[in-house]
Amino acid sequence: MGLRFTLAKAAGAVSTWGLRHVAHRPAANLPGKIALKVDPVLLDELRGKCAEGSVVTVGTNGKTSTNNLLADAFEAAGRTIICNRTGANLAAGIASALLQQPAAQWGVFECDELWLAHVLPRLRSNYVLLLNLFRDQLDRCGEIDRIQTSIAGALAASPDTVLIYNADDPLCARIADTVDNLSIPFGLAESMDLAQNTVADAQMCQKCDGMIQYRYRQYGQLGDYFCERCDFARPELAYAGRDISLGAGGVTMEVCGPAACERVRTPQPTPYAAYNLVAAYALCRETGIPTAAFQRAVEAFDPRNGRLQRYRLGGRDVLLNLAKNPTGFNQNLKIVEADRGPKMVAFFINDQVADGRDISWIWDIDFEELADRPDTVVFAGGSRAHDLAVRLKYAGIEAPVVDSIDDAFVRLGALTAADVMPADAAVYAIANYTALPPVHDALNAMEAAEALRPAASAEAPAGATATVPAAPADPAGPAPSVGDGDSSSAEPPVVIAHMLPDLLNLYGDGGNVRILEQRLRWRGIPVEVRRVGHGETVELSEVDLVFMGGGPDREQKLASEQLLAMRDDLAAYVEADGPLLAICGGYQILGRQWLWGDELVPGLGIIDMETRRPGTSADRLIDNMVLESPLATHPVVGYENHAGRTYLGPGVEGFGRVVSSCGRGNNDDDRVEGARYKNVVGTYSHGPALSKNPEVADWMLARALDRRARRTGQAAPKLVPLDDAVELAANEVMVRRLAK
């Protein structure tokens, strides 16, 4: 061991002591970060502390819980371990654990997906357990294919590492297909008969341009899949969960592996717990952990780290859980929905670096499942509470903004005192990554305080007031129920064509369609949304508004081929003043050429503009932005994330001009953002674009109504003003923040 290693260990020890004894803070990351600065190959030298080897758990959802369960199982079997139990899963967190904990038989680590490429070649772990891959933090991680490439590269650099992977996830299966490492697939061999959510991450085949089909789907893209155009399909499972029972008491199944079939169970009553259970079982069997020890660990598992953590506070059952992407949130909503009793649900969303600055993904969450529940009150918290309140409004849920979980409890107490909610109403707190610790700390403090009292009171503190959440007010009278149309009305519907939502569904852009749809329904105007999937056609002469979103590169290229086949019809629609809203990739495709990866490809040529390579800078343009736009009196707020640089022709005006200190617009040169041509609006603005900008939404709708009038001969009604206080509050919060 050299001088650098000695100095790195000393720096780690000193910083650990200082953080714990002077600053009274966790020492989960900083000691390792300092030590790695001193000795960049520190992990190579520390891996010898794990005498028998190490295992690394990666995946978008469930890393911390599964890794901690594995740690418990190893210890239950009498193995000594080193583990980063706090969830500090970058190289610094793993280095800190190795520096601070005594030598052991096994290292049991979780690792961030993108950091595996830095960690695995140095640890040379015996096993990597790959749980799943879902869309997550697109501003940091990028599209999922980038993560796939990174994980495959990490495995290639550690060829003796065995990959145990979720074969029900086509994204994980593709990684196994591309590496030479020994790979062991696990999955569920039967359907859990779950209701499906609106958005899934992988609808295109991972090997060809076909679309994935399913014999059955569990949730997200997980299930028994196959492609009709090539041989890509779920592989035969080495560890298969079957005879699955999912209920309030947990998940029970039989797992059949190479040696035997054994029954296992977990008290966690969630579909993703079924996957975590079979994943952990597979790794334990491969490492020689007896099933009896594994089952003891599962039954006793109670990490108390905010993941599915339960409390009993003031006579109420409280559940706290982490959710940081659409799939995670949708699975949490299934837990809430299964509780048919009265309840409070408090959501907390932050946008710190660790969370991802772009929160457009909240529009891919099916909050509509909580609508029309008279015994359910909902609150929105976190640094992006106002954005969350907007999303919930368009789901039919009024969600007052709260400062904290304590504030939510005060309001619930006031509702109880007013006999609106019962004293034993359940509480669900769901928070994303950096929003979780303060909620966790507050609930722990409540639990500690309650332990000191002889009996808890459900009454609200003196002076607390609350209002009963209700459906958003409808200024135009009772709105028709949300659906694909209102056949009871003699008035013809406004027809919105949502182009290729199965391919162009990135960044929550489909939320724009929901916003347009709801703003018509709230005014009593019938509307029909036609979702035009891959391979389907639409008669644009019957359409009043067209929407095109953005997508991952492969999906966007496939979508562009279908749109190019429709080029003449789309051009005629635009020239006839048909309104069209195009976001990001959909916006680029409207020009003469656009950027597909590093390749310039032909566009529709409907707008005189072109998108080029970045030139000397390969940086993506990623940030919040505020625009001045002639379509709105208020500032227009959005989020950009694009690599291409778009330049407008001489006759094309911009959608707006960037006025904030952050945000770059079309090309990082002229501060122009987006494009306007006739009734076409193209923009790089996510958020979605219309969520905090109701004036722009109504500008589009006014032109859609004019189009319907020309198409049907029926006069266009005046757009009755709506109460946009929630949307404008979210707009104002971001404008103030970005003006600093």
The predicted-structure confidence for 637-673, as pLDDT tens digits, reads as follows 999 999 899 999 998 999 999 999 999 999 989 999 9
Q: DSSP 3-state assignment of 227?
A: strand
| Residue 95 confidence (pLDDT) | 96
Which residues, given as ranges, of the chain have pLDDT below 50? Answer: 456-488
Give, rounded to a whole angstrom, the gap between the first and last alpha carbons of the chain.
Answer: 49
**Cβ neighbours of 261 (radius 10 Å):** 11
**Where in the chain are the domains?**
1-39, 47-300, 309-451, 494-620+643-655+674-719
Is 145 annotated in the active site?
Answer: no
| Residue 261 assigned to a binding site | no
Domain 309-451 fold is Protein-Tyrosine Phosphatase; Chain A (3.90.190)
Write the CA distances from 526 to 198, 518, 700, integer angstroms: 22, 10, 16
Q: Choosing from 584, 623, 634, 724, which is the catalytic residue? A: 584
| Residue 141 assigned to a binding site | no
- The reply to whether omega before 688 is within 30° of 0 (cis) is yes
Rounded to whole angstroms, how far apart are CA atoms 262 and 256?
Answer: 6
Is 358 annotated in the active site?
Answer: yes
pTM listed for this prediction: 0.90
Cβ atoms 398, 473 nearer than 8 A: no
Distance of CA 646 to the CA centre of its chain: 28
**Residue 660 in tokens:** 């904030």
Query: Which segments of 553-667 does DSSP mark as H helices, in order?
Result: 553-565, 567-575, 585-589
| Residue 1 confidence (pLDDT) | 65
DSSP code of residue 141: H
| Residue 230 assigned to a binding site | yes
| Residue 221 confidence (pLDDT) | 94
| Residue 140 confidence (pLDDT) | 66
Rounded to whole angstroms, how far apart are CA atoms 58 and 131?
Answer: 6
| Residue 256 assigned to a binding site | no
| The listed CATH number (3.20.20.70, 3.40.50.2300, 3.40.50.300, 3.40.50.880) that belongs to domain 494-620+643-655+674-719 | 3.40.50.880
Q: β-strands 621-628, 593-596: how paired?
A: unpaired
Is 24 annotated in the active site?
Answer: no
Domain 47-300 fold is UDP-N-acetylmuramoyl-L-alanine:D-glutamate ligase (3.40.1190)
| Residue 620 assigned to a binding site | yes
Q: Choosing from 358, 486, 502, 623, which is the catalytic residue? A: 358
Amino acid at 656: G
Tokens 């909240």 — which residue? 362
- Helix or strand holding residue 306 (H, E): none
Buried b (16+ CB within 10 A) or exposed e, 203-237: bbbbeeebbbbbeebbbbbbbbbbbeeeebbbeeb
| Residue 614 confidence (pLDDT) | 84
| Residue 478 confidence (pLDDT) | 37
Q: Choosing from 141, 686, 698, 724, which is the catalytic residue? A: 686
